[in-house]
Structure 1
Amino acid sequence: MTRVIALLLMFMPIAAHAAALDGASLSLFWGLPFAGILLSIALFPIIAPSFWHHHFGKITAVWIGLFLLPFTLVFGGGVSLSLVAHAMLAEFIPFVVLLFALYTVSGGILVSGNLHGSPVLNTGLLMLGTALASIMGTTGAAMLLIRPLIKANDNRKHNVHVVVFFIFLVANIGGGLTPLGDPPLFLGFLKGVDFSWTLKAMFLPVLFLALALLLVFYFVDSYFFRKEGTLTKDATPDSPVRLSGLRNLPLLGAVIAAVLMSGMWRPGVVFDVMGTDIALQNIVRDGLLIAIALLSLKITPRIIREGNEFNWEPMLEVGKLFAGIFITIGPVLAILQVGESGALASLVQLVSHADGTPDNVMYFWLSGILSSFLDNAPTYLVFFNLASGDATELMGSLSQTLLAISMGAVFMGANTYIGNAPNFMVKAIAQQRGINMPSFFGYMAWSFVFLVPLFVILTLIMF
């Protein structure tokens, strides 16, 4: 796919300063390739699973080509180059580098041994992962605990629900307390939102959803556990749990420190790369994250990663698909960013009352629904800028609006596999371990039944 992108760029006329993309002049036609990627993710695993498994990268590359070729012909090479450069340099690379570091370091920590996947144990593991997600990020917590959780339930006939609730709680909702937890909150932190504001404002919503989902999960898991009885013998008998690869724990702390550094150290040095501003602190952060990941690979014994069945397939799947998403989503975000001047004006108008004050209920639901399908990090930025763009004002007189945006982006990223990157990674690992995970729409059925009613209750409580 990267070769296709490079080949397309070779034929673009290079401008000294790439032109900006005017969202007001765009029609929704330019969002069709993005919709095509989403439909491919949704339908191919159902109608042609083997073909999708072997060729999803090529399919994504085709959609990128179907977008870039006509876009370049209509708007010129400068605009196309600017769009691709911004998608890669400002969004995709920082996104993938952070995932790479967390995936690599957490993959070097082995939770060995095995416990019996009872409702009490499973609920306890989900609770632990939910708590860790705001400390080590949803990706780090998910990658650390998903394998032990699957192993504990490898004798269970019904274990799909365990992974689905794991995605709900550990890969999404648990990361809502700090900017370290979830990419949207990290972007807000970089924009000036205080670390303490996020913790205080998001505490009650996260606590409510976490406790409610843990309680529901316990009863659902108890039902299936009783239904199965003792007919299935555990393929991996109980044994004491041990932690190996503890030398990666300081590296995990280093990842956290690098992320915090990029939000707190602002030297004011910015480089213009093909029309995209890249701040020095972000370059340093990404360099440190790559170095930390490489150090983890070097110092972690191979036997530990083999015990984790560590491989790069989940990262490759996320990388290829999200490269296509970040490139083709550009016109959609540009249309949203111009507000009532764009083709989605009717959608934008929904977030304001007649007197111009923000409608926080609609901010919550629209940022959430779009986060479910457009990836929650860039969607958060769109609504952040739409509401004000000023972190001081948003933490002050518009604090409820910022809370609505934060809740929508973080919580409803759990609605689909593509709402948050760890969702896809957990799904890929579960499938590698032989779990027949739901299809794209099948997973949405789970989220509609268990998440949406809680979001409605949360709306009534908070707004």
Structure 2
Amino acid sequence: MKKMVAIFIVTLLAMTLFMPFVAGASGTEASVSHAAESAAAIDHPATPAVTDHAATPVAHGEHGNGHTNLGAELPLWAAIPFAGILLSIALFPLFAPNFWHHHYPKVSLAWALLFAVPFLFVYKGTAFYEICHIYIIDYIPFIILLGGLFTVSGGILVRGTLKGSPAVNCLILIIGTILASWIGTTGAAMVLIRPLLRSVAWRKHKVHTIVFFIFLVCNVGGALTPLGDPPLFLGFLHGVPFFWTLKAIPAMLFVSIILLIIYFAMDSFYYRKEDLSVINATEKEPLKIEGMHNFLYLGGIIGAVLFSGLVKMGNITILGVHQALQNLVKDAAIVLIAVMSMVTTSKTLREDNQFSWEPIKEVAYLFAGIFMTIIPALAILKAGEQGALGLLVKAADKPAHYFWLSGILSSFLDNAPTYLSYFNTALGKFFPGQTELAAVPQLCSNLPIPGRDGVTYSDYLLAISLGSVFMGANTYIGNAPNFMVKSIAEESGVAMPSFFGYMFKYSIPFLVVTFILVTFVFF
């Protein structure tokens, strides 16, 4: 009976999904049939979490051929599988943890197929291109970067007694927040999450520490340079000066200090409830870092990412998708570095560091489904005012609007195309008809905008930058390292909150309230 009900529900969902695709495709068979000859409004390659992500419409043939009107045709219904996989991530661990632990790859595959089958049926070659595009340009480089950083950081072991006190934990959070803008949020998170887990291993109350690590190290700390977070890296590729993002220092310090004060007060409260005899009875061991050579490998990965953004080597076509050669060089370099780290780091050290492949496997399986099902959502977003989310794009008028709209969308969608959607909206709003080369320097300037009471062009760019970076912390999927840290913590025995538990217990009470203060102070 249960199987029959499940089959009925899946069939109903599949039929529901065919409807919007067919409706969106009606009257457009001609454009679909020659999609292979039309230029795509597709993204520039960049880099996930210092990473390869989507971007903005480019010149003909930049990444191959696609369907120019896809985002304008697709209704919001097409994002049902994306909502489904998010709900699965949120609810299955709560209500069916054993099933989820053993079958989450199948659940991810099911949602991916539920989108891909009707999408391919209706849009044929266009759909095939879009699927190839998101995996070749986005998913594969995304997993290579995460896997490389995960492998290298797993070879860095901090031995010694870390007391796990509020002061020690705050120090780790501060170091990670500072590092995040220079080695990327993912790099900083992968290097420091294991020392932090070791620091709080003896404590009963430790979930809040990992959550604030996600807030600060995985997100807020990446706001100061293009190396910190993917949206800022894309801005750099589109002409925003490398050090322009240092304008975010006041806001970044404001948010960081508030969150650190909240964390210190909370951790001090819980610390007084701990059995301190456990740590006091532990034999004191001096701090020592082993696997230091892996810091060189870490530098190599960051260098490879920078190389891919600064050097142009032409394109190569893979399954109709144009991929930049420098990105392939970057990916190959990261894979080679990861292999070298495995070969040159002792197995004993990794075992002592509690290194396992399960966290990266979980991220790879789940994000394979997320990247497939997110295709319609990103296409709609990139369609701007012509898409089903056009009202959200049109609603942006003041810097505060740009901050919240880019932030809310970045919480659930890829923050890189969200950033560029509002980046391009601002360019079109203030500099219509101008080339990007001419308009971007003006958007970065402190020139006051006529009739806007002293508001400058750079206020808008700052709002977009801060919203896209800061609000990636609102959910587990808002930024690449969030889910990875969650998986590593759970692998170490920490009972992390569910998807909704994270939002309603932590991000809404602490982050959203802080972002409201940011709005009043800075915008």
TM-score over 0.5 (shorter chain): yes
Establish whether residue 62 from structure 1 lines up as the match of residue 110 from structure 2: yes
Establish whether residue 213 from structure 1 lines up as the match of residue 273 from structure 2: no
Same amino acid, percent of matched pairs: 53
Cα distance, 1:455 vs structure 2 = 0.5
Match of 1:395 in 2: 444
1-structure distance, mates of 2:378, 2:280: 49
Residues 226-375 of structure 1 mapped to structure 2, 5 A cutoff: 226-228=272-274, 230=276, 232=278, 237-267=283-313, 269-352=314-397, 359-375=398-414
Residues 96-135 of structure 1 mapped to structure 2, 5 A cutoff: 96-135=143-182
2-structure distance, mates of 1:196, 1:221: 35
1-structure distance, mates of 2:340, 2:239: 31
SS of residue matched to 1:243:
strand
SS of residue matched to 1:151:
helix
SS of residue matched to 2:477:
coil
Match of 1:160 in 2: 207
1-structure distance, mates of 2:144, 2:281: 37
- Note if contact 2:163-2:279 (Cα within 8 Å) is conserved in structure 1: no
Cα distance, 1:114 vs structure 2 = 2.1
Q: What CA RMSD, in Å, does the superposition of the two structures yield over aligned residues?
A: 2.0
Cα distance, 1:254 vs structure 2 = 1.3
2-structure distance, mates of 1:96, 1:395: 32
Match of 1:136 in 2: 183
- Note if contact 1:177-1:203 (Cα within 8 Å) is conserved in structure 2: yes
For residue 384 of structure 1, the aligned residue among 417, 423, 427 is 423
Match of 1:222 in 2: 268
- Note if contact 1:373-1:418 (Cα within 8 Å) is conserved in structure 2: yes
- Note if contact 2:315-2:322 (Cα within 8 Å) is conserved in structure 1: yes
- Note if contact 1:394-1:402 (Cα within 8 Å) is conserved in structure 2: yes
Match of 1:52 in 2: 100
2-structure distance, mates of 1:241, 1:425: 26
Match of 2:467 in 1: 408
2-structure distance, mates of 1:162, 1:287: 35
Relative to structure 1, is the Cα distance of residues 219 and 331 closer, same or farther in structure 2, using a 3 angstrom cutoff?
same
TM-score, normalising length: structure 2 = 0.80
- Note if contact 2:403-2:463 (Cα within 8 Å) is conserved in structure 1: yes
Establish whether residue 94 from structure 1 lines up as the match of residue 134 from structure 2: no
The AA in structure 1 aligned to 2:349 is: I
Relative to structure 1, is the Cα distance of residues 154 and 196 closer, same or farther in structure 2, using a 3 angstrom cutoff?
same
TM-score, normalising length: structure 1 = 0.90
Cα distance, 1:145 vs structure 2 = 1.5
More deviation, 390-399/27-36: 390-399
Relative to structure 1, is the Cα distance of residues 192 and 297 closer, same or farther in structure 2, using a 3 angstrom cutoff?
farther
Match of 2:17 in 1: none
Instruction: Show structure 1 runs of 5+ residues with no match.
Output: 1-12, 353-358
1-structure distance, mates of 2:75, 2:399: 28
Match of 1:417 in 2: 476
2-structure distance, mates of 1:165, 1:81: 40
2-structure distance, mates of 1:325, 1:254: 29
Cα distance, 1:336 vs structure 2 = 1.6
- Note if contact 1:114-1:148 (Cα within 8 Å) is conserved in structure 2: no
Match of 2:56 in 1: none
Relative to structure 1, is the Cα distance of residues 194 and 286 closer, same or farther in structure 2, using a 3 angstrom cutoff?
farther
SS of residue matched to 2:159:
strand
Match of 1:355 in 2: none
SS of residue matched to 2:286:
strand
Cα distance per residue 1:33-82 (max 9 Å; x no partner): 11111111111111111111111111111111110111111112x11111
SS of residue matched to 1:347:
helix
Cα distance, 1:400 vs structure 2 = 2.1
SS of residue matched to 2:273:
helix
- Note if contact 1:139-1:171 (Cα within 8 Å) is conserved in structure 2: yes
1-structure distance, mates of 2:417, 2:350: 33
Q: Which has the larger radius of gyration?
A: 2
**Matched length:** 442
For residue 491 of structure 2, the aligned residue among 432, 441, 446 is 432
Cα distance, 1:417 vs structure 2 = 0.8
Match of 1:194 in 2: 241
For residue 511 of structure 2, the aligned residue among 429, 436, 451 is 451
